[in-house]
């Protein structure tokens, strides 16, 4: 159905092949930072919308899905986690979710300070945790940050990055994964978003092959993220020993305890059941390639 005359729309174009659009009421912010183009809009249906370099990062209506999946799938399988680092994620959504674990101290490592400042102003419910005393906000390169950490220092590393272009390319390199494995404790877990199987099949294959070079255990999980082109979105869970299902022993009423809207015990388990076309993106011999 064509847009009506006079309507304003934002459209993310995916690889020149497809697009995802929101009808917008007004532009809230637009600037070119030292690293990327930052735009924010008020939409008619999804609240405020954050866009980096033309790519949708979040909407207020459904951001909880992505942030809950990045934070809780790992945190729920680590016994008494105490130190976490979030690489990227300047909007603060992952930090907000991780603060639901009272003993966890979080370092947010975001290369672009302007993303944080725009989010604090226009997405206050997402960024609310950034001023918590258990949070350290560091404006530096995530790869350099991990290289400077001590061996075994962290229990959890969450990479909440844009697509692997520009500064984010450093976050999908063999050297980055090796540093992440080095600084994780024996019970530690590394998680990251690994894009859409519909649009990024080659990138997903490369990421999981590289992860296997640094981590003894690597799994893929997935969720439905409506605002991202492709909607079915993948994530990695990598560890030295922790198991995403065997070490998952949730209390009754998990989602109520955490105050989550998407994540639950049942969703956690189901997220590791991969459709065959997604299993096919994993390396030969991978334990999740069960239906091929």
- Point out the residues that are catalytic: 160
**CA separation, residue 113 to residues 11, 86, 164, 169 (Å):** 25, 14, 19, 18
Q: Residue 120 has which token pair?
A: 């604090």
Q: Residue 153 has which token pair?
A: 């220092």
187-223 burial code (b ≥16 CB/10 A, e <16) = bbbbbbbbbbbbbbeebbeebbebbbebbebbbbbbb
| Burial (Cβ within 10 Å: 0-12, 13-18, ≥19) of residue 4 | exposed
Cα angle for residues 24, 30, 31 (degrees, 5° grid): 160
Place of tokens 């994964």: 177
Task: Label each residue of 40-52 as H, E or C.
Answer: EEEECCCCEEEEE
Question: DSSP secondary-structure letter at 251?
Answer: P
Q: Where would I find the H helices in the chain?
A: 63-75, 93-98, 113-122, 124-127, 142-147, 174-183, 201-211, 254-258, 265-270, 276-279
Q: From CA 84, how far away is CA 97, in angstroms rounded?
A: 12
Q: From CA 14, how far away is CA 45, in angstroms rounded?
A: 21
């Amino acid at each position: 159905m064509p847009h009506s005359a006079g309507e304003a729309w934002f459209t993310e174009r995916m690889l020149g092949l497809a697009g995802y659009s929101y009808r917008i009421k007004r532009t809230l912010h637009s600037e070119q930072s030292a690293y990327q183009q930052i735009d924010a809009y008020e939409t008619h249906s999804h609240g405020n919308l954050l866009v980096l370099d033309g790519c949708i990062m979040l909407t207020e209506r459904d951001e909880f899905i992505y942030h809950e999946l990045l934070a809780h799938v790992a945190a729920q399988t680590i016994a008494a986690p105490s130190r976490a680092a979030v690489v990227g994620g300047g909007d603060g959504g992952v930090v907000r979710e991780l603060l639901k674990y009272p003993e966890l101290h979080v370092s947010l490592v975001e290369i672009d300070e302007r993303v944080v400042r725009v989010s604090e102003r226009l997405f206050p419910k997402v960024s609310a945790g950034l001023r918590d005393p258990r949070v350290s906000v560091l404006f530096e390169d995530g790869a350099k940050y991990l290289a400077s950490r001590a061996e075994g220092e962290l229990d959890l590393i969450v990479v909440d990055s844009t697509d692997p272009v520009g500064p984010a390319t450093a976050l999908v390199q063999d050297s980055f994964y090796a540093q992440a494995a080095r600084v994780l404790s024996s019970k530690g877990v590394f998680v990251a978003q690994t894009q859409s199987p519909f649009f990024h099949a080659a990138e997903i294959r490369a990421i999981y092959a590289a992860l296997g070079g640094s981590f003894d255990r690597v799994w893929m999980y997935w969720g439905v993220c409506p605002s991202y082109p492709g909607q079915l979105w993948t994530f990695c869970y990598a560890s030295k020993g922790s198991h995403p299902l065997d070490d998952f022993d949730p209390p009754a009423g998990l989602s109520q305890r955490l105050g989550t809207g998407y994540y639950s015990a049942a969703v956690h388990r189901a997220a590791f059941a991969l459709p065959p076309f997604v299993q096919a993106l994993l390396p030969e011999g991978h334990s999740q390639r069960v239906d091929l």
